[in-house]
Structure 1
Amino acid sequence: MNKRIFKTTLLVGLVALILSSIFSFFLYYKTYKVSSEEDLTSLISLIDSTINFEEDKIKYLENISKFDKNTRITYIDSKNNIIFDSYGDVPGIKGHINSEEFEDSIKTGIYNPNKYRKNAFEDIYYNAFKLNDGSILRVSKETESIFKLFLKVLPANILIGLVVLLISKRFSKATTTEILRFIEADIETPRIDTDKIPEISPIMYEIKSQRDVIERQLEEIKIEQDTIKIIIENMEEGFLMISRNKTILLINKAALDFLNVKKNVINKNILYLTRDEEIVNSIEVALKGTSSEGVIDSASREIKYYSNPVYLKNEIAGSILFFIDETEQIRSQKIREEFSANVSHELKTPLTSIYGFSELLKNKMITSEKDKEEIIGNIYSESKRLLDLTEDIMKISKLEGRSEVSKTIINLRVLSEEIISVFKSSASNKNIRLSVKGEGTIVANETMMWEMLANLVENAIKYNVQDGEVTIELKQSKNIEISVLDTGIGIPVEKQKRIFERFYRVDESRNKKSGGTGLGLSIVKHIVKSHGGEIVINSKEKVGTEIKIFLPIDTKIYN
């Protein structure tokens, strides 16, 4: 703006200077010309009116010529002889007195000066007329030419031009500063003062209008960005955006957690985030326009990823990756597969035995009564085992599918003593001492609580040693704490995490001998979970096992 105002002001100033200079110069030159002609005419008139009264005309003319060095006086007698020339240049004047202009001047006898150019810098005005005695008087006056006058005023014009330049520069700076100050001050205020600089008021209105539009758009963009950022940051799924040159543009917390990365990787190459060959290859493929998916193992978790290209104006601009933690789904699938296999195996084994023994009896291949009784006993045992297995499976199915159950106030001390009395007979076979300590009251499903404690006590007796102990301890504070302790064989540390899985047996051979379906602790886990509780196991081989359950006093039944 400053340069533009400066150029405009300077141009206007220079044009005004040139036009005024030309006008004043020609006006001055015209005045100068008229003044020179009038001076010459006045001198001629003076000489003409006085020379006839002078006795010594030559002397008279010499005296007059002394007053003005630029005036030349030539006196010619009636025979055209040059008697006097104030410049003393007789040969030079002869060319003038023989010219047509000289003859015309003598003939007219009018004081009307003629002019001729002496050189580029001087003009000469002259006139000639006859005196009364027939002699001729020629008077000329040297004046400055128009070119010389121009050169004389040129320095002044240059000086004035410099002044105009300085004034324009200062004026433009002052004007620009004032306008900008006004604009800056006015943009910050809601009101436009048109009295200050009314010429820019339309611009100011337009600026304010555009500013309001831009502010609204920026606010909308900011809201959209914040919304997208909040959504991405709070996604359970991992999100990763990669540019075409494999630079990380955006990554959320979930993706960093899935890939077990703590450092800042924004604007860095993908190799700063992960060197997993499968992930890097999926990005390479996506940048070539092909989507892909797969599963990687990261920090003992199963992470599924989806890689897709990102297009901008029909060109691939980068790629995005989604990460989903499918550890539970994959593990659940494995458990379901194992459960199906185990159920098939556990059901098939007794059924096969029953079928085989029955076939022997049907075909009358057993003749000994003793053998028959043994086979019938085996059929009974396998049938009971099959029935127990079916009941346990149905219990687990009910627990998994049950949404609501009836709840009552349960005195856990009384319930525990009842369970102890039920298992006294089986415990006496190993001379195991059963006891209950502490008190506790809970609001829960009584059948489930009975099933939970009965399974724990039954296992504690089954895997105990001769002359061992089984103790139920009850503690009540903010929650109910139920502990079942035994002095049995214990569980190896590496197998403790799996004992609540369906059909899992710590020692397959021992479990076959001791009976059981392998579903007891799985039932306990489901009951605890459905009541919003937690279960913890502490066990040491050849020392014993403690299973501790924490339940809220007023339990809710969870799906």
Structure 2
Amino acid sequence: MTKRIFRAIFGLAMVMMLAVVGLVLGMMYDYFSAEQRDELRSQAVYVGAGIQANGLDYLVQMDHPGDRITWIDKDGVVLFDSKANPANMDNHKKREEVIAAFQNGEGFSERYSTTLSEKTVNYALQLENGTVVRISTVTNSPITLFFTLTQPLAIILVAAILISVFLAFQTAKNITKPINSIDLEHPEMAVVYDELTPLLRRIAVQNKQLYQQMRELKRQKQEFDTITSNMQEGILVLDAQGDVLSYNLGALHLMGIEAPKEQANVFSLNRSEGFRRCVESALTGTHREENIQVRGKFFQLFANPVHQDDTLAGAILVLFDVTEREEREKLRREFTANVSHELKTPLTSISGFAEIMKNGMVGADDVPRFAGKIYDEAQRLIQMVQDIIKLSKLDEKQTGMEKETVDLERLIRDVVKRLEPVAQTKGVSMTVSAEPAYFMGISQVLQEMVYNLCDNAIRYNRENGKVHISLENKENEIIISVSDTGVGIAKANQSRVFERFYRINESRSKETEGTGLGLSIVKHGAVLHNAKINLTSELNKGTDVTLSLPK
């Protein structure tokens, strides 16, 4: 601030000084010009008197006059010139000063030479005999006059600059010292000259207003940050050029990006076609929705334009993670297709057997066998429908039962008792090693889970094979393990056995008469109880499935 005031004062002093110098030079120039005119007039009168008395002889006998003397007759012909041969000179009747002399008795003119920086002053006087005598003198131009005074002016200028610098510095220091000592937070406490009092009063009022505004803005920002930071949805606020003004952590998390730098453009965050269409539409004033895919996840993007005083000020982007919904839709479509296929098989068998019997193509002895086939397919169909209903309830987490304390050891032994006839038919032996354990869960779902694991272990076992069920009560979890000595599962298929209707071998599945939904029910039951499933298997050696139930 001191430098700016110093420069202003110094500049003002220099301008004033240069103006004074220019004014003085102008006055001097005008003074010398007037003196010069009077001198030329006196000289012309004196020469004219000599011509009147002696004519041309007077002019010829003059001893090298300093100024140029020209004698012109009434027709403009040059009769005599002290600097040139009259015979070689043109007619002077049209010269400015000559014309004025013929008309008014005297004439005055000036002609400049920019090349020589000189000025020629001409004065013409009409004599009594009608002729005109002209006196011409060469004088310096204002620029030449200025340069002749350069040395004394330079000395004066340097002295004036030094004095101006000193005075400007002292003045600036005296002005800025009280201002620099002002405490802007408490301006009313400052000791300054009277001229600054209104300024200090204004600063105090502005401080109060700014404090209130900053406190309100801070409160609003905290509210906005609190709301948006706890939202799972992503929010991006853009200006009219598409630069990111604000965002929440949800947007960074969903889009898998780092915090954008200042003035980052929104298209640097995502360059997909759907994202660009949505943003460009909002920045032109039109609402748009798009479904986009980022890093394997699905998002629904809403882009809304923001108007302020009928002017497009920017846009707001809102991102919703719809990956789960899309996956559910995909599963529903696959489930519908699989259900249609799986239901078609037993219905086709039932329809075929019934048609044969209807047409009388079955003998009396074969009727029980055909009826048995129809019954078996109907039971398979009923079992499949029941499993589908169970899966639907588990999908929606609607089992119709509240959680209760379940005695897992008793539950396992009940399941084993139910499956013993099936195991004996297959020649499979079942053993149990269980510790007392109680778990807060849905008894029916837990029973279905253990039943399906054991049922699969029996179905896909060998003759004279073994199935072992263990129950371990650990500090933080309860472990239920079902292992068998069956055919095992290849590593390529282990990640898919929990999918609905997935069958490793279609021919073997038909032999075992399974619905393909058992392990899928186990998986959904585990999700319902926040349990983990671990499957280890080796071809021709057996399979071990472990359930980890958190306490």
Q: TM-score, normalised by structure 1?
A: 0.61
Q: Give the AA of the match of 2:201.
A: Y
**Corresponding residue number in structure 1 for 2:137:** none
> How many equivalent pairs are there?
401
| Structure 2 SS opposite 1:490 | coil
Letter in 1 for 2:473: Q
Task: Quote the Cα distance in structure 2 between the aligned partners of 1:218 and 1:417.
Answer: 70
1:473-515, Cα deviation, whole Å (9 max, x unpaired): 2222221011112232333444434433333333333222211
Partner of 1:469: 466
Measured in 2, the distance between the counterparts of 1:349 and 1:289 equals 56
Unaligned runs of 5+ in 1: 15-160, 554-559
Of 419, 428, 437 in structure 2, the residue corresponding to residue 441 of structure 1 is 437
Q: 1:40-119 residue pairs with structure 2 within 5 A? A: none
CA contact (8 A) 1:192 1:204 kept: no
Are positions 1:501 and 2:499 aligned together? yes
- C-alpha contact (below 8 Å) 2:187/2:203 kept by paired residues: no
> Is 1:378 aligned to 2:355, yes or no?
no
- Partner of residue 200 from structure 2, selected from 193, 199, 204: 204
Deviation at 1:214, TM superposition (A): 0.8
Rounded Cα–Cα distance in structure 2 between residues aligned with 1:520 and 1:493: 19
Instruction: Name the larger-Rg structure.
Output: 1
Match of 1:276 in 2: 272
Q: SS where residue 414 of structure 2 aligns?
A: helix
- The one-letter amino acid paired with 1:542 is N
1:296–1:498 CA distance, 2 compared to 1 (3 A):
farther
The residue number in structure 1 matching 2:20 is: none
Is the 2:187–2:200 contact (alpha carbons within 8 Å) kept by the matching residues of 1?
A: no
Matches within 5 A, 1:115-264: 169=168, 172-173=171-172, 175-181=174-180, 184-185=182-183, 187-189=184-186, 192=189, 197=193, 200-262=196-258, 264=260
* Distance in 1 of aligned mates of 2:270 and 2:282: 17
Question: Which residue does 1:44 correspond to in 2?
Answer: none
Of the three residues 514, 517, 536, the one matched with 2:515 is 517
Corresponding residue for residue 452 of structure 2: 455
> In structure 2, do the counterparts of structure 1 residues 453 and 163 end up closer, same or farther at CA, with 3 Å as the change threshold?
closer
Structure 2 CA distance for partners of 1:490 and 1:225, relative to 1, 3 Å: same
For 1:501, give the aligned amino acid: E
**8 A contact 1:486–1:546 mirrored in 2:** yes
CA distance in 2, matches of 1:309, 1:466: 71
Question: 1:456 offset after TM fit, Å?
Answer: 0.6
SS at match of 1:489: coil
- Counterpart in the other structure of 1:388: 383
- Indicate if the aligned counterparts of 1:250 and 1:266 stay in contact, CA closer than 8 A: no
> Structure 1 residue aligned with 2:398, among 397, 401, 408?
401
Give the Cα–Cα distance (whole angstroms) in 2 for the partners of residues 294 and 423 of structure 1: 53
Residue 233 of structure 1: how far off its partner (Å): 4.2
**1:311-340 CA distances to partner (integer Å, 9 max, x unpaired)?**
455444544433322111011012122323
User: C-alpha root-mean-square deviation of aligned residues, in Å?
Assistant: 3.9
What's the secondary structure of 2:324's corresponding residue? helix
Residue 296 (structure 1) aligns with: 292
Which residue identity lines up with residue 393 of structure 1 in the other structure?
Answer: I
Partner Cα separation in structure 2 for residue 263 and residue 190 of structure 1: 40
Query: Residue in 2 aligned with 1:366?
Result: 361
CA shift for structure 1 position 466: 3.2
- Secondary structure (helix, strand or coil) at the match of 1:305 reads strand
The correspondence for 1:339, drawn from 335, 349, 355, is 335
SS at match of 1:499: coil
Greater alpha carbon shift after TM alignment, 224-233 vs 511-520: 224-233
Distance 1:174 1:518 in 2: 94
Which residue of structure 2 aligns with residue 490 of structure 1?
488
Corresponding residue SS for 1:549: strand
Counterpart contact for 1:265–1:273, Cα < 8 Å: no
2:416 corresponds to 1:420: yes
**CA distance in 2 between partners of 1:275 and 1:200 (Å):** 57
Q: 1:245 and 1:191 mapped to 2: Cα distance?
A: 44
Contact 1:353 / 1:379 at 8 angstroms: preserved in 2? yes
Aligned to 1:63: none
Change (3 A) 1:306 1:398: closer
Distance 1:428 1:266 in 2: 74
| Per-residue CA distance 1:360-419 (angstroms, 9 max, x = gap) | 44x452351133222211121122112222332343445431364252351x33433333
Matches within 5 A, 1:15-34: none
Q: What whole-Å deviation, never above 9, does each CA across 1:255-281 have from its counterpart, x for those lacking one?
A: 344444347455344554334233234
Structure 2: how far apart are the matches of 1:494 and 1:226? 52
Contact 2:462 2:486 in 1 (8 A): yes
Residue-by-residue CA offset, 1:110-157 (whole Å, 9 max, x unaligned): xxxxxxxxxxxxxxxxxxxxxxxxxxxxxxxxxxxxxxxxxxxxxxxx
In the alignment, which residue of structure 1 is the partner of 2:531?
533
CA distance in 2, matches of 1:529, 1:264: 37
Distance apart, 1:545 and its partner CA:
2.2
Q: CA deviation at 1:516?
A: 2.3
Residue ranges of structure 2 left out of the alignment (5+ in a row) = 17-159
Q: In structure 2, do the counterparts of structure 1 residues 298 and 464 end up closer, same or farther at CA, with 3 Å as the change threshold? A: farther
Verify the 8 A CA contact 2:462 2:487 in the aligned structure 1.
yes
Question: Does the aligned pair in 2 maintain the 1:192–1:201 contact within 8 Å?
Answer: no
Q: After TM superposition, give the deviation of residue 162 of structure 1 in Å.
A: 11
Deviations, residues 214-263 of structure 1 (Å, cap 9, x unaligned): 12112222333344345444432233345555544445444344444347
Contact preservation (8 Å) 1:474, 1:480: yes
- Distance of aligned partners of 1:258 and 1:214 in 2 relative to their CA distance in 1, 3 Å threshold: same
Q: For 2:292, what is the secondary structure of its paired residue?
A: strand
Q: For 2:477, which of 476, 479, 497 is the aligned residue?
A: 479
- Hey, what's the Cα distance between the residues in 2 that align with 1:409 and 1:254? 40
Q: How far apart in 2 are the matches of 1:242 and 1:349?
A: 57
1:174 and 1:402 mapped to 2: Cα distance?
Answer: 87
Q: 1:191 to 1:265 in 2, by over 3 A?
A: closer
For 1:381 and 1:332, how far apart are their aligned partners in 2?
33
Distance 1:293 1:495 in 2: 39
Task: Indicate if the aligned counterparts of 2:485 and 2:541 stay in contact, CA closer than 8 A.
Answer: yes
Q: CA distance change for structure 1 residues 548 and 261 in 2, over 3 Å: closer, same or farther?
A: same
Instruction: Indicate whether 1:326 and 2:325 are aligned.
Output: no
- Please identify, of 351-360 and 367-376, the stretch whose mean Cα deviation from structure 2 is larger: 351-360
